[in-house]
Amino acid sequence: MTMGQCKTCGVGHSQQFRRFPTMLKTIRQKFAHDDLAIFTVLFIASFIGLIASFVLSNEAVILARNENTVLACDLSSAVSCSAVGKHWSAEVFNFPNAFVGMISFSVMMTLAVAGILKVRFPRYFMLSAQAGAVVGVVFAGWMFYMSYVVIGALCPWCLLTDIAVLLSLYALNRYNVEQGHLVLSRKYETTLIRFVSKDFDKLAVFAVIVLMLVLILVKFGGTLF
């Protein structure tokens, strides 16, 4: 047996490494399509949102058992998941909001995987998904307001879900615009197409995230940790 040859498969390791770039190229070619980047963003956002929602759901159960429990993300008076979790706004539907997040992000992740695999969905299905993301962004904005203004404390996992749903809306809106799925008047449709084609939607998402960070730093500053 030659040096560097695998005893199990009988193939030299150097030969295996040389094949690796070819394998990656084959995989990229197999899944490559115009909407791959969009659905990849949707997948990453959904994955982050799902993880955050799972953690929040677990914390909600812990607080339900003992509301005096100190959670791992209770870092200071300004960063306190338990303070946010015990507020009535954390259970708008008489059960933890995070449960809705787990369901919603699971659906979005399934949609993202299907999109990556080149599955095509009907026009109104994708518009419905975008409408759901719009509702999610509005709800996330309201929750951020409640946390920032009313409760006076921040929940890191909640902030992650805010960013996740914002990125989900960005991805779905860009997809529907590029696919011509819009149901707007010609004037507004042209404006939105121009807005997306110039990447102003990316700038808008970045601006919202920066605005959130600035607001947090201005109000809480050194009390964050």
CATH number, residue 209: 1.20.1440
Q: Which pair of tokens denotes residue 67?
A: 């509301």
φ/ψ (deg, to 5) at 130: -65, -40
Does 215 reside within a domain? yes
Q: How many CA atoms lie within 13 A of 60 on its CB side?
A: 22
Q: Which domain holds residue 208?
A: 33-224
Overall number of domains in the chain: 1
Does 15 reside within a domain? no
- For all residues of the chain together, what is the average pLDDT? 86
Does residue 148 register a pLDDT over 90? yes
The predicted pLDDT at position 181 comes to 82
Residue 111 has a CB neighbour count (10 Å cut-off) of 22
- Most confidently modeled range among 120-124, 134-138, 221-225: 134-138
| CA nearest neighbour of 111 among 37, 30, 39 | 39
Does residue 11 register a pLDDT over 80? no
Q: Residues, the chain, total?
A: 225
* Rg, Å, the chain Cα set: 22
Mean pLDDT of 99-124: 93
Q: How many CA atoms lie within 13 A of 138 on its CB side?
A: 6
